[in-house]
Structure 1
Amino acid sequence: MRQSVEIEFPRGADSYAVTRWAGEAPDAPVVVAAHGITANGLAWAPLAEAVPEIDLVAPDLRGRGRSRGVGGPYSMAAHADDLVRTLDHLGIEQATLLGHSMGGWVVAVAAVRHPDRFGGVVLVDGGLGFPLPPDVDMDELLDALLGPAMTKLRTVYADRDEFLAPWRNHPSLTEVYSPAVEAYLARDLIGTAPELRSACVLEAVRDDAADELRNPEAVGAIRALPVPAVFLHAERGLLNEPVGLYPPAVVAAAELAGAGVDVRFVPGTNHYSIVLGDRGIAAVAEAVRALLQ
């Protein structure tokens, strides 16, 4: 198993946590990865195993995991600037960006705001906006989209197994569940039994969702990328529904090629397995390697 190093540095009200998997060579190319809206940096552990030649840097974004105490503001710009501060703390001049789900918006905004620090962007089932009614209730939208991921934010668990049980049986995870996936999920737990909770800050999830879907800077970032970019979209949805978050017809209508984005459909994957399962990891690894070349 590839060894990782945990790094923390002062940021805001608390410390910002980063997991780093050093590359095989001292001069390995750096990839900085942003996770999804209720996830944490260990979501990238399976990819780290598959691409040992890169130096993979994966923060717990503010309001999540071990960065939950950093505090607001919560927005794509705040997360993007945190990625640059991470590079500064580690003494890294330039990196390739990789983002999954909400992380897609984070890295797109990072590339637009800091074009001198990033050489390419891989967006994985995220970063492309879709129209919302002006009066949509954000909590209702998040519950409809994320289901169990939102339920965990409001639930108190008696022990670790009670927390993990719904995920072991989650329709999108049953085929890819592994010790690495379980470690990623368990990183989210805080507190002491019998009062365990998710580390995700509900305010952060709400504010970030509103920002990624309504803020013109975040919504428009994918069409303003100043560096080479790849957009990967999964065949199936968040609950392994037959239709993905980004149906092929919707992606085609977005005409991302006109904005210089290389669009790739990833069959046999859903919103989670595209970063946690072998097929998805292979597609992400191929996209990353293509940009690094």
Structure 2
Amino acid sequence: MTTPAALDLQVGGGTLRVLRFGEGPRTAVAAHGITASGMSFRAVARHLPPDWSLFALDLRGRGHSASAPGPYGLDTHAADLCAVAERWGGGAPVAVTGQSMGACVALRAAARRPELFDRLLLVDGGLPLPVPPDTDPDAVLDATLGPVIARLSRTYESDEAYLDLFRAHPALGPEWNEDIEAYVRYDLTGPAGARHSRAQEGPVRHDGRELLTSAALFAEDLTGLTVPARLLYAPRGLMGTEPGMLPAALVAHWTAQVPLLTAEPVPDCNHYTILMGTTAKTVADRLARAPDQWT
């Protein structure tokens, strides 16, 4: 499952890239984080049982779907993820997962089209974040994702220069591995001497604003769930330090509110390495395990 097959999905207005890992008849579909790509699921796919296939979508404005047109936003991404499930699900309900913003996409897909899915695995995301109503979303984005967004508009002299940027990241460098390197290399495009990220700043900012202003909609998605859901969350956050993105109190609140949602802390990882580090094995195990065996 190390080298995925590159598939094209025709959607309204363009073509999206889908990475297929594995050849098994059992199916999972996946959505990635706000500036990431389907390649972020490489480690998880490698740990799935051999009778599974994982179809990881490059969301519009990212990866090899960077040139796909809008509209962007959670509704569009969720519809695209549902289209993946319909195209490659074999006519039966499939597993759906997502990490970070992708968890919100997977949640929206499961809430809107529950007949397509038999389980939902949220990875360090998917819960409404408490943001005061008078907060400027762009100011919050710049404060939390400023360096990440700035990277999208910069060029780099070589692939190695771009890799060095990630190797120096406090959440990635200490746990650098082949999966992280493959993920970073997949993100590169552009001519020699002016290499840059495939992710587009416009779609990233659009989706980031929606994440920060749609807590009520995410709450509706959660409370209306009819698909069994499991949340895996990391103790460390974007910079590799505590606290994590999802405080324990927030997790406890939503698991108490949503009967079909259970949660599990995953030790010794951060927001990124929960998916691309050694704990990817835990993510794969929970994704492949029947929901009645989660607890």
TM-score by length of 1: 0.91
Q: For residue 239 of structure 1, report the CA deviation from its aligned partner.
A: 0.3
Q: Which runs of 5+ in 2 are unaligned?
A: none
Partner Cα separation in structure 1 for residue 70 and residue 12 of structure 2: 8
- In the alignment, what sits opposite 1:38? 35
Secondary structure of the residue aligned to 1:111 is helix
Give the AA of the match of 1:45.
R
Residue 80 in structure 1 maps to residue 82 in structure 2: no
Q: Which amino acid is 1:271 matched to? A: H
Distance in 2 separating the partners of 1:257 and 1:281: 28
What is the match of residue 166 of structure 1? 165
How far apart, CA to CA, are the structure 1 residues paired with 2:3 and 2:184?
18
C-alpha deviation, 1:286, in angstroms: 2.6
Aligned with 2:264: secondary structure? Answer: strand
Residue aligning to 1:281: 280
Q: Tell me by how many angstroms 1:166 deviates.
A: 1.6
Q: Secondary structure at the match of 1:46?
A: helix
Q: Distance in 1 between matches of 2:48 and 2:257?
A: 27
What corresponds to 1:142 in structure 2? Answer: 141
Matches within 5 A, 1:65-144: 65-90=63-88, 92-93=90-91, 94-144=93-143
5+ unaligned residues in a row in structure 1: which ranges? none
* Alpha-carbon contact 2:255-2:263 (below 8 Å) kept: no
Separation of aligned partners in 2, 1:175 and 1:156 = 24
Deviates more, 1:260-269 or 1:38-47: 260-269
In the aligned structure 1, how far is the partner of 2:97 from the partner of 2:227?
A: 13
- Find the aligned partners of 1:140 and 1:263 in 2 and give their Cα distance: 31
Aligned to 2:196: 197
Matched, 1:55 2:56: no
Structure 1's 31 and 135: CA in aligned 2 closer, same or farther, altered over 3 A?
same
- Number of equivalences: 289
Q: Percent identity?
A: 36
Kept after mapping to 2: 8 A contact 1:102/1:127 = yes
- Distance verdict in 2 for CA 1:91–1:33, change over 3 Å: closer
Instruction: Indicate the larger mover: 94-103 or 192-201.
Output: 192-201
1:123-272 alignment runs, 5 A limit: 123-215=122-214, 216-256=216-256, 258-272=258-272
Hey, what's the Cα distance between the residues in 2 that align with 1:85 and 1:255? 29
AA of the residue aligned to 1:112? A
Question: Once the two structures are superposed, what CA deviation does each residue of 1:86-145 show, in whole Å capped at 9, x if it has no partner?
Answer: 233336322111110001100000001101111110000000011212332323322322
User: 3-state SS of the aligned residue for 1:194?
Assistant: coil
Cα distance in 2 for partners of 1:177, 1:61 equals 25
Root mean square deviation of aligned Cα: 1.9
Cα-to-partner distance string for 1:155-192 (whole Å, 9 max, x where unaligned):
12222122121211211112331222112112222211
1:240 to partner: Cα distance: 0.9
d(CA) in 2 for partners of 1:218, 1:158: 41
Does the CA contact (< 8 Å) of 1:8 and 1:16 recur in 2?
yes
The TM-score with structure 2 as length reference comes to: 0.91
Aligned partners of 2:45 and 2:284 also within 8 Å = no
